[in-house]
Amino acid sequence: MLKIEALHAGYGSTEVLHGISFEVPRGKVVSLIGSNGAGKTTTMKAVSGMIRPKGGAVLLNGKDITGCESHQIARLGLAHSPEGRRVFPTLSVADNLTLGAFPRFTGSRPRGDVLADLEQAMELFPRLKERRAQLAGTLSGGEQQMLAMARAVMLRPEVILLDEPSMGLAPILVEEVFRIIRRLKDQQVTMLLVEQFAAAALEVSDYAYVLEGGRIALEGPAAKLKGDPAVRAAYLGGAH
Ligand SMILES: Nc1ncnc2c1ncn2[C@@H]1O[C@H](COP(=O)(O)OP(=O)(O)OP(=O)(O)O)[C@@H](O)[C@H]1O
Ligand SMILES: [Mg+2]
């Protein structure tokens, strides 16, 4: 499980996160909801080691990983599917996915069967299966987005951070992404989710935190927040 205690982080001298605390229990899906610029991506970056926290603590299964390098954190089993598309453009889809498993070979976690996991990922993401030999750089934007998510799954992570997995996707692929999130949840994968479709995110989540201006403004079981009039008005478009 992932536990964040009084986390401070930002860029240069600008502090974006002003001491946030939250947790993602094992096997649960937790959503972070908030307006543009609230600090959701910054939170994920500080947790996965893409930026160094300025204060507070990040604990993965009780181990303090605050300030560790991102490759060390990946080895410990935390996968981050970042906002935007980060794939290796000159490698094939299959090679991108295989590389996602690489940290399993340099850490102390079980290596497992990478080829079997590759086939499983292809089943989970049929779009990628059809394009397994295609160079990642020639995939459409939406397909690259799915590849980034599939690559995170290839780590067989203890915890997976999904930052806007449906961004830029056509409605049919958005549905596909949520279907995949549900499948991962059924497999007891622990997830921290940030999604522009907050209502759909709450639907698949167990618990959620509302981030406002780098502070946790509200938290509660996802079903409860979904029915909260203030949350509905501010984040769910009122109509969902
Ligand atoms: N690399 C950076 N350098 C300086 N400031 C940054 C950087 N990245 C983000 N910020 C600032 O930090 C604040 C929080 O940004 P962040 O990306 O965490 O927001 P977010 O909640 O993910 O928003 P969105 O919903 O638009 O993705 C914003 O004010 C943003 O301008
Ligand atoms: Mg963001």
Check if 198 has its Cβ closer than 6 Å to any atom of ligand 1. Answer: no
Check if 39 has its Cβ closer than 6 Å to any atom of ligand 1. Answer: yes
* Six token digits for residue 120: 């499983």
* Six token digits for residue 201: 């995110």
* Six token digits for residue 39: 């600090």
Tell me, what's the pLDDT at 84?
74
Question: pTM for this structure?
Answer: 0.94
Residue 9 CA: which ligand is closest? Answer: 1
Centre of ligand 1 to C-alpha 45, Å, is 10
Best probe residue, ligand 1, of 11, 20, 45, 80 (max atoms within 8 Å of C-beta): 11
Location of structure tokens 């279907």: 179
At residue 239 the predicted structure's pLDDT band, cuts being 50, 70 and 90, is very low
Output phi, psi for 143, to 5 deg. Answer: -65, -35
Written as one letter, the residue type at 235 is Y
Sheet holding 55-60, edge to edge: 14-24, 2-11, 55-60, 63-64
Q: Give how far the C-alpha of residue 70 lies from the chain's centroid of Cα atoms, to the nearest Å.
A: 14
Give the separation between CA 67 and CA 217, rounded to whole angstroms. Answer: 25
Mean pLDDT score of the chain, rounded to an integer?
93
Give the separation between CA 79 and CA 148, rounded to whole angstroms. Answer: 11
At residue 121 the predicted structure's pLDDT band, cuts being 50, 70 and 90, is very high
Give the separation between CA 89 and CA 199, rounded to whole angstroms. Answer: 33
Tell me, what's the pLDDT at 141?
87
Distances (CA, A) of 68 to 86, 162, 165: 21, 20, 25
Output phi, psi for 142, to 5 deg. Answer: -65, -40
Tell me, what's the pLDDT at 108?
76
Number of domain units in the chain: 1
For atom 4 of ligand 1, the residue with the nearest CA is 11
Check if 34 has its Cβ closer than 6 Å to any atom of ligand 1. Answer: yes
pLDDT digits (tens, 9 = 90+) for 18-35: 999 999 999 999 999 999
Angle, alpha carbons 171-165-47 (nearest 5°): 160
Beta strands in the chain (DSSP E): 2-11, 14-24, 29-33, 55-60, 63-64, 78-81, 159-163, 190-194, 207-212, 215-221
* Six token digits for residue 73: 């954190």
SS3 label, residue 214 = coil
pLDDT digits (tens, 9 = 90+) for 165-183: 998 888 998 999 999 999 9
Check if 45 has its Cβ closer than 6 Å to any atom of ligand 1. Answer: no
Q: What mean pLDDT is predicted for residues 229-236? A: 90
Residue 14 CA: which ligand is closest? Answer: 1
Q: In terms of residue numbers, what domain contains 213?
A: 2-236
pLDDT digits (tens, 9 = 90+) for 33-48: 999 999 999 999 999 9
Best probe residue, ligand 1, of 13, 20, 33, 41 (max atoms within 8 Å of C-beta): 41
Question: Which CATH number characterizes residue 103's domain?
Answer: 3.40.50.300
Ion ligand 2: residue ranges with CB closer than 5 A = 40-41, 83
* Six token digits for residue 187: 């497999």
Distances (CA, A) of 217 to 22, 66, 106, 120, 237: 12, 23, 39, 39, 18
| Alpha helices (H) along the chain | 40-48, 70-75, 93-100, 114-124, 126-129, 141-153, 171-186, 198-204, 222-227, 229-235
